[in-house]
Copies of this chain bind each other. A is one copy, B any other.
Amino acid sequence: MVKVGIVGGTGYTGVELLRLLAQHPQAEVAVITSRSEAGVKVADMYPNLRGHYDNLSFSVPDVATLGGCDVVFFATPHGVAHALAGELLDAGTRVIDLSADFRLQDAEEWAKWYGQPHGAPALLPEAVYGLPEVNRESIKGARLIAVPGCYPTAAQLGFIPLLEAGLADTSRLIADCKSGVSGAGRGAKVGSLFCEAGESMMAYSVKGHRHLPEISQGLRRAAGGDVGLTFVPHLTPMIRGIHATLYANVADKGVDLQALFEKRYANEPFVDVMPAGSHPETRSVRGANVCRIAVHRPQGGDLVVVLSVIDNLVKGASGQAVQNLNIMFGLEERLGLSHAALLP
C-alpha cells in the first residue's frame, strides 16, 4: 500500500485526486494539507467524498508529516513545490508535482513565463516530465515528476506521431484548443463566474499563454529540432474537457496516417486512436484517464487536422498523476484508472 500525501488539496485537481485514489486498491491518502482549510474535514468541503474520507481532515503543511509518506502530490499554485520538493526528496519521499514548477527544463524560460525566479533550479536535472507515452522508462526510476499541463497533454499526444515520423512541416504548427472552465481552477475570479463564462465562447491569452513553452519543448523533443507553434486557447462553457484541434502541413500524401497513429499508440492503455473519420467528443472522456484522437486530411489536401480530447482534470492532471504513481511504484498502470467515462 503506497502511503500518499497531498499538498494543497482544496482545488479541483485536489478533489479529483481524492476521487480517483478512493478507488485505488494500492494507495492510501494519509495526509492532505491546506493552510486556509486546516482542521476542516475533507468531506465537509467536498460532499461527494462523504462516506469515503470521513476521518480525513486538512492539516497545515508540515514537512515532517509529509516526509512520512511514500509519495507527495502537489496540487498547488506554482512556486509551492519549488519550496518544498527538495526537503521531501531528502527525506526519501517521492514527489509528483501537478503544478508547473518543474515542467520546463530551462529555469530562465520558466522565470520569463511565470514572472518570478525559478525556486529550485538544482532539482531540474532530475525532474522527469510525466507524460508516460513519451517518458515511461524515465518515470519508473524517477523521484520527481512534473505532471504535464492539460493543454500540453492534449496537444503533444496529437502532434507526436506526425513529428516523430518526421512528416510535418515543423515551422508552422497550430494548436487551436478549447477548454472547459475548470481549467481556470476554483479561485473566485469574475471571469470564471457562471454568468460570465456561461453561454459564451472566447479566445484568451492569444499573445502568449504559459502552456506555449511547455508544448513547444515537448514538440521539439519529438521533432528533433526547433518548431514554430501558434497556440490559441479558448474558454468554453462546459465544466470539464479539452478539445485540441491541431493543424500541420504534411506534404507526403502517400502516408497512411490512420495506421501511423494506431501503431504509435498500440500499446498505450490510455490513448485511444478512433476509427478514420471520427470526431471525438470531450464527454466521451469525462472523468476518465483517456485521450481520444482522430486524424483527418480534409479534401485530401496538404493540411492534416488532428482532433485530440481529454478531461483536463484527469488525463490532463490528476489521472495522469496517478498513472505516474502506478509506474513509479511498479504497479499495474491502469490501477484505479480503469473506469469508463460518465456519459451523458
Contacts from A to B (Cβ < 8 Å) = 12, 15, 18-19, 22-23, 46-52, 172, 174, 176, 178, 180-182, 186, 188-190, 192-204, 206-208, 228, 230-232, 234, 236-241, 243, 245, 247, 249, 272, 274, 277, 279-288, 290, 292, 296, 298-299, 301-303, 305, 307, 309, 338-344
Contacts and interface: CB of A to CB of B under 8 A. Distances in A.
A195 B342 CA distance: 12
B194 A305 contact: no
B287 A230 contact: no
Contact of A245 (B196, B203, B343): B203
B48 A286 contact: yes
Contacts of A207: 277, 296, 298-299
Contact of A340 (B49, B238, B305): B49
Contacts of A47: 274, 280-281, 284, 292, 343
A284 B234 CA distance: 16
Nearest to A311: B342
B230 A298 contact: yes
Given A174-B303, A237-B238, A203 B344 contact: no
Contact of A287 (B15, B200, B287, B292): B287
